[in-house]
Chains A and B, each alone.
Chain A
Amino acid sequence: MKNKITPYALLLPSFSIIAVFIVYPILYLLWGSFFTILPGGGREFVGTGNFIMIFKDPDFLNSVLMTLKFSFIITPVQIVLAVGLSLLLNRNSILVRVSRTLIYIPVAINMVVATTIWNLMLNPSSGVINSILNAVGIPSQPFLTSPKESMPVIMIICCWKGVAYWMMFLLAGLQNINESIYESGRIDGTNFFTELFSLTIPMLKNPLVFVAISDTMINLFMFVPVYLLTSGGPQGSTNVLMYEAYTSAFKYSNYGRSYSIITILLMITFIIVGLQFFILRDKDEPKPNKKALRGAV
């Protein structure tokens, strides 16, 4: 009896935290998305009214598109860069250790501070980046005021800030790979690419799955650079769902709309993460023999 209770007792603190900080807010959000705020502060049940309303709103539809565009482009780019960096920095010389520290510095900088610094650097009239471009004969670029450039600029900032973070997980994974596996490969005549794709990447699968899923989720929920740099503009080109939800709640006090937007965002997240789990599952793992299991019980 004691043995049966112990695992659950040990899991209880974690599940309590999950229930309070994850499950409850999500349920509250889902419940709230079916209500609208009445004059004077009351609430009225409107069923799917908020959802019908947002699907009629071109700004919401655009923000779904922008969120997916941002996430689908930046996530693979960040992962490839993180893998590349981790391979480059998987050495043990002083130079590599110093480089690792320098590359990790953006992760340690607060996102608001980092974005503010980028904002100053990207200023069209006094920013250092345009000054450098002008010095080499390139005209000033409307980095944050052009609908073509603003989203790529935000992606670059997010990569600068995030790649080193994911790199550290992959670096830890690389350092867990036994060197003898590579030695065996070399005896069999592997080159760099066969080593990378046949040995390193498969051996990195577990940290890669974690990085891919976590990075996707963080990118779907990206907010700070948009809030501080572009306010969703120019022409809605950076208006992601998180910003649309923020403006609904905190500019318009339309919490029902905001909850509905976040509900849609959560659904998108669950679908994408579910697909990732399915695609990246361990296909070699033998399926459990249900008959045998039933017999065991």
Chain B
Amino acid sequence: MKRRKTLKVLSLLLAVVFAFSLVACGTGPSADNSAGSSSTVASTGTQAGSETTESKDPSGNVRFLTMAEYHDANVKVVEAFQKAYPNVKVDMEEYPFTQLFDVIEIKLGSQSSNFDVVLTDATMVSGYAYRGFIMPMDDYFTQEEKSEFIPALVDSSTYQGKFFSPPIKNSCHVLFYNKKLLQQAGLDLPSADPAKRLTWEELVPMAQKVMAAAKDPTVYGLTFEQISRAYQVLPLVNSAGGKGIGDDGITAEGYVNGDAFVKAMKWYSDIHNVYNIAPKGVAASETVGLFASGKIAFLCANIFDYKTFKSTEGLEYGYAPFPYFAGGVAATPTDSFHISVSSNSKNKDAAAAFVKYFSLGEGNDIFCESRGEFSARISKLNVYNEDPKYNEEPLSIFKLADYEAQNTAFPRPKSLGYREWESVINNTMEDIRNGAAAKDVLDKAVASIDAKMLPYK
């Protein structure tokens, strides 16, 4: 009897273990490298570089954790870097935008020394520095070199007075429009002059007219490239006079459920659920393609998309300044990508040399020109205003970007708990887009953010 019972207990135990193994095999997230792709750019020459302040002679391997969408530009930068620094070999490990930040949290959180250089979103600099993921770069950048960057971006790069992460690009958003669709609806083309900026309220009837004239249920009036992402949608709140979070980077009450936030999100809901001028169920990754294929009349998008639109056969597009709310202030999305050295890197000098090459001088020029990016360097901004080629379309978009950067740009909030805040806000924006009552879900978002900010209080 005893033996029978023992056998029974053992068999049940094995059943439980088997079920646990099923769970482990079937549902656990994989933290290996399978989602990313790794590539090595071969060194092709031995020509000396033109760095100005680098005194050391770095050597060895550098592993760069970066975004797959930047692959072509990254390869060009790495090739040029390896010509300038023939003793350094750079490997890239690339992940799609939607996975990159989770991967960084996992890999750097494990204190792995496998990565030397990390692409860093501006809002994450303080969080990574706080957690000890990245190291200060003050020893590698002179004050003069730091002053080459736009001051607001140096501020984004700085945590507790230390310079951690130089910017490699700035960003600016405009309102792209499809000329054919607007002309078909008998509308005047919007001006690129910031003084004649459209309001969001004016844009609604224009979009409705376009949709009525198109007589095609797959054509929509308006959408955002980064739909339901704080990066692009939060400026609606800024335009209505609100902020994403309190100045302490922690307080959500009164901001996330404040009048301005509610007003902006009510409008955001209305364009999807009342006016029906914006498509629902379309992912951020689809919006540029929809505009390029003539299915969207107005697209709020990053200026670098001009390269895609310029090369799209049959697409006639124009651009205008990012709209604002009547009675409010002009507010355009901005923020930068930065590049950092991992605190656990075993080859900090070589990594710092790569970071410097990527953010200043030749490497940064290659990156920005390859992708059509808005530069983070003051000397380059001067070029936009002085070089006559930037007076003509499509490059004149950089002059508008320069104006917006100096006058209307609203970066995302700085907070040690930015990832928590952004995650809640993005989900809330998507819920509002899908028809949830703005005030109700914003109140819930406040409770959620408050709970998640407790570790930072």
Chain A residues in contact with chain B, CB under 8 A?
11, 14, 18, 21-22, 36-37, 39-41, 53, 56-60, 111, 123-125, 142, 145-147, 210, 213-214, 217-218, 221-224, 227, 231-235, 242, 246-247, 250-255, 257, 273, 277, 286, 288, 293
Task: From the candidates A14, A58, A210, A250, name the one contacting B448 in the complex (CB within 8 A).
Answer: A58
Question: Cβ of A22: which chain B residues have Cβ within 8 Å of it?
Answer: 17, 20
Report the Cα distance A125→B290, complex, angstroms. Answer: 12
Report the Cα distance A147→B435, complex, angstroms. Answer: 10
Q: Are B431 and A235 in contact (CB under 8 A)?
A: yes
Task: From the candidates B18, B280, B452, name the one contacting A252 in the complex (CB within 8 A).
Answer: B452
A-B pair number, CB within 8 angstroms: 125
Task: From the candidates A39, A145, A253, A255, name the one contacting B434 in the complex (CB within 8 A).
Answer: A145
Q: Provided the pairs A235-B441, A251-B419 are in contact, do residues A224 and B27 lie with their beta carbons within 8 angstroms? A: yes
Since A56-B454, A234-B434 are in contact, a sample of 14 more A-B pairs with Cβ atoms closer than 8 Å, ordered by chain A residue number, is A40-B132, A41-B111, A59-B451, A142-B281, A146-B434, A233-B430, A233-B431, A234-B431, A234-B436, A246-B29, A250-B106, A251-B101, A273-B16, A288-B2
Category for how many chain B residues contact A: 35 or more
Q: Are A124 and B131 in contact (CB under 8 A)?
A: no
22 A-B residue pairings within 8 Å (CB atoms): A22-B20, A41-B131, A53-B455, A56-B454, A58-B451, A59-B448, A59-B452, A142-B280, A145-B281, A210-B15, A218-B19, A218-B22, A218-B26, A232-B427, A234-B434, A242-B27, A247-B423, A250-B102, A251-B420, A252-B417, A277-B12, A293-B2
Q: Are B17 and A18 in contact (CB under 8 A)?
A: yes
B284 within 8 A of A: no
Q: Are A36 and B281 in contact (CB under 8 A)?
A: no
Q: Are B132 and A41 in contact (CB under 8 A)?
A: yes
B389 within 8 A of A: no
Report the Cα distance A124→B26, complex, angstroms. Answer: 28
Q: Are A57 and B102 in contact (CB under 8 A)?
A: no
Chain B residues in contact with chain A, CB under 8 A?
1-2, 5, 10, 12, 14-24, 26-29, 101-102, 105-106, 109, 111, 130-132, 218, 279-282, 417, 419-420, 423, 427, 430-431, 434, 436, 441, 444, 447-448, 451-452, 454-455
Report the Cα distance A102→B1, complex, angstroms. Answer: 44
Report the Cα distance A261→B390, complex, angstroms. Answer: 55
Counting chain A CB atoms within 10 Å of each CB, which of B16, B17, B420 scores highest? Answer: B16
Task: From the candidates A217, A250, A251, A252, name the one contacting B19 in the complex (CB within 8 A).
Answer: A217
Question: Cβ of A59: which chain B residues have Cβ within 8 Å of it?
Answer: 448, 451-452
